[in-house]
Chain A
Amino acid sequence: MVVDEAILWSSLVLLAIGLSLHRMGPSFRRSRFGFPLLLIGGASFILLPEKLDDAESEVYSSIIELIKWCTPFVLGAILVLRSSSTYGEPSSYGLFLGWSVIGTSWIIVYLERASVSSVDVIGASSSLMGILLGIVLVYIGASLSARSVGLESYSDPLSPEEGELVRTILRRRLGGDGHGD
């Protein structure tokens, strides 16, 4: 495998790592590496590869085409949501602008659509079936492994002081004005 193909696959792996770390949330320290890794992966995917083989070139061009129309679509969707009364301040101007951007993204999709043959559809359906099969099998494997671990031990019962504390908290929260039972 030559350098450009290796860069492309490494960028996709970096994107997956960045996304996974970013989704962990702030309670895990390693989540702070998520966004920088996403940026590095995205930048190296877009900027670095030059001469790619057929398979990688197809992946590269399909993702770049996706970015071209997805970016205005997401921006338009955010504008529409912010300008609707349910999710933000109602604004006719914002709605008009948002829908114009979404319309532009659909025009880009229409202009860049490729002719599709039945062989392509069968191939894509097989790949998607494989992806779904993988998700189902990983889910089954993960749930079986989670069941196999079981509980390590039961926690100790509350001490009299802790029990009194819990009783006091519940009485304060549920007792209303303090004149209840």
Chain B
Amino acid sequence: MAIDFSELVLLVSGGVALSASFFFIHFACTLNRFNSPLALLSPVMLVGASFYTTMMLSEIGTASSFRDSIASSIVALVSLFPIFAAMLTIALLRITLLTNRPVAASSQ
């Protein structure tokens, strides 16, 4: 089974929409007098651009294909977690092996 170019572009635009939506929510929730409200503009524009890309390329309906591509991005992100866990496991091994040795007096 092959994957065509328009499907790849849809997946990339889904990823952009996912991260931009998260940043929009984050900026909107944490907005305070030290932030510029203009920062909200870039995530909105990115989500709009992703939606437009999906509208141009999808064959099964814009909304469902937008949902599909965002869902694929979440699944791809979740599939990375074992890699993070492996890196953490190595760090924990180093902590266990290197810091639990009995420490002798270095100078007397």
Q: Which A residues fall within an 8 A CB radius of B?
A: 1, 5, 12-13, 16-17, 20-21, 23-24, 28, 30, 55-56, 58-59, 62-63, 65-66, 69-70, 73, 77, 80-81, 84-87, 90, 95, 99, 102, 105-106, 109, 117, 119, 122-135, 137-138, 140-142, 144-146, 148-149
Contact = CB atoms under 8 A, between A and B. Distances in A.
Given A109-B85, A140-B42, A145-B36, A130 B11 contact: yes
B99 A126 contact: no
Contacts of B25: 13, 16-17, 20
Contact of B99 (A55, A62, A86, A124): A86
Interface in B31-79: 32, 36, 38-39, 41-43, 45-46, 63-64, 67-69, 71-79
Main secondary structure of the interface of B (DSSP, over half): helix
Interface residues of B, number: 57
Contacts of A66: 78, 81
B14 A130 contact: yes
A30 B79 CA distance: 33
